[in-house]
Amino acid sequence: MTKKQNILIIGAGLCGSLLALRMAQRGYNVQLVEKRPDLRKQHQDAGRSINLALSDRGLKGLRLAGVEELAKELCIPMLGRMIHDTEGTTFLSKYSGRKDEFINSISRPGLNMLLLDEAEKMPNVEIIFNKGCKSVNLENASATFKDYTTDEEVTYRGDVVLGTDGAGSVVRKNMFNHKKFLFSFSQEWLTHGYKEITIPAAEGGGYRTDKGALHIWPRGEDMLIALPNLDGSFTVTLFLPYSNSDYCFDTLTTPEMVTEYFSKEYPDAVALMPNLVEEFFDNPTGPLGTIKCSPWNSYGKTLLLGDAAHAIVPFYGQGMNASFEDVVVFDEILNDFEGKEDWQKVFYEYEKARKKDTDAIADLAVDNFHEMKEHTASPLFQQKRKLETAFEAEFPQEYYSKYSLVTFKEAITYSEALKKGRAQDKAILNLIADGKITEVMSLREKLELVQKETNAIMHDDEIAFG
């Protein structure tokens, strides 16, 4: 590929800004256009996904662009899930039996600002704010934007357009409406929405609860989670049905109802959220959905990446991680085509390599929605987790739980993690439920039994699904 080519990237969120940095490092001229004002100059996003869980796949993307260490300065390690029951009793369920495996809480605006700063340092990157993409000419790689400061329209053109404008992507909508090629699209909403609330820092600084964990209050249908921030606060997210339940967004319409619901379900959390009622009504309620589409590319001129191509529900903490992994996979494909001028082939090969994996993480994320809100508190699930962490601690090279395969083992793909992880889960749960794992067995014997059962299930699945 000729390195002086111009790449027009639409959307300077997490994926777009990392992609801009990496494409510039590869020698391309990059124009990165963002509809919102520069978040380094204007505070935004109150009440919307303020912090995120960053794990190994995301770190790999940051490493590729040489910014992993800078990002780590913004990270707070979370070693496991701190489960809170209705009595306020807590216990820590570790993410892994291996000591060096944990996830990190990181500020979304903090990370986005870091990536913008690093991209902007490159002489071949131009970042343009306050211009929202209105339409894309898919056949000639140009896009028209509305300038929100002047109200005027402006058109930018590249050799290719990379659409990283998030779940509501205008680039993707242009493909959907284009009609000259077959474009498949699906969007599935969960019955639940989310709302963010704050646990402020303790008076005089410090954290009001353990900062080294992702806190969960699983309640069957509903759930509260909390992730720590560097300033001593926690961002709490409530996941609640919109309707058809005694307590849902449709019924929590008065301060009394909100207080009643939280005091009943999350008494220990209420004590930590002095501004609960005010924030509940001030902060927006966000929907949660899965978007799948194909093809991601049109005419070898435009390509979708990140949430624009594959938005997922947040229950595996993998949306951003997957978007950063997109950049890694795209970069690998570019390596294969070094010196050859063929974007059509690059885009095609990229989707061929990547789509099955983003489909897999989308499905895994929905699985984890049910696991987190319903199963994390169940004795059977806890027995399974205990056994898995024991396997990981004792046989670190031989056993990876589904969670570890997805979160910590970036050398294998999401689709492989799904296949093996689901079979393993089924195997362990069946063996425990059938009483086949007994106290008299050694840990090695238990591991061998689980491996044997897992292989049998994977074999059966292969026969059934080809």
- Applying CB under 6 A, which residues contact ligand FAD? 10-16, 33-36, 49, 52-53, 132-133, 164-166, 170, 194, 237, 286, 306-308, 314, 317-321, 323
User: From the CB of 322, what's the least distance to ligand FAD, in Å?
Assistant: 7
The residue at minimum Cβ distance from ligand FAD is: 13
User: From the CB of 66, what's the least distance to ligand FAD, in Å?
Assistant: 19
**Inter-residue contact 55 to 321 (CB < 8 Å):** yes
User: From the CB of 393, what's the least distance to ligand FAD, in Å?
Assistant: 25
What letter represents residue 35's amino acid? K
C-beta closer to ligand FAD: residue 9 or 450: 9
What is the residue whose two structure tokens read 């970042």? 127
C-beta closer to ligand FAD: residue 34 or 388: 34
User: From the CB of 74, what's the least distance to ligand FAD, in Å?
Assistant: 14
User: From the CB of 300, what's the least distance to ligand FAD, in Å?
Assistant: 21
C-beta closer to ligand FAD: residue 128 or 412: 128
Residue 250's CB: how many other CB atoms inside 10 A? 12
C-beta closer to ligand FAD: residue 11 or 97: 11
User: From the CB of 166, what's the least distance to ligand FAD, in Å?
Assistant: 3
C-beta closer to ligand FAD: residue 107 or 401: 107
User: From the CB of 159, what's the least distance to ligand FAD, in Å?
Assistant: 19
Paired sense of beta strands 142-147 and 131-137, if any: antiparallel
C-beta closer to ligand FAD: residue 229 or 318: 318
Q: With both helix axes pointing from N to C terminus, report the angle between 343-370 and 319-336 in degrees, rounded to the nearest 10.
A: 160
Separation in Å, CA 171 to CA 126, 130, 157, 195, 437: 20, 17, 14, 27, 52
C-beta closer to ligand FAD: residue 93 or 104: 104
Residue 359's CB: how many other CB atoms inside 10 A? 18
The helix (run of H) or strand (run of E) holding residue 281 is helix 276-282
Exposed, middle or buried by CB within 10 Å (0-12, 13-18, 19+), for 52?
buried
Using DSSP, state whether 36 is helix, strand or coil.
coil
| DSSP calls for 240-256 | EESSSSSSSTTT--SHH
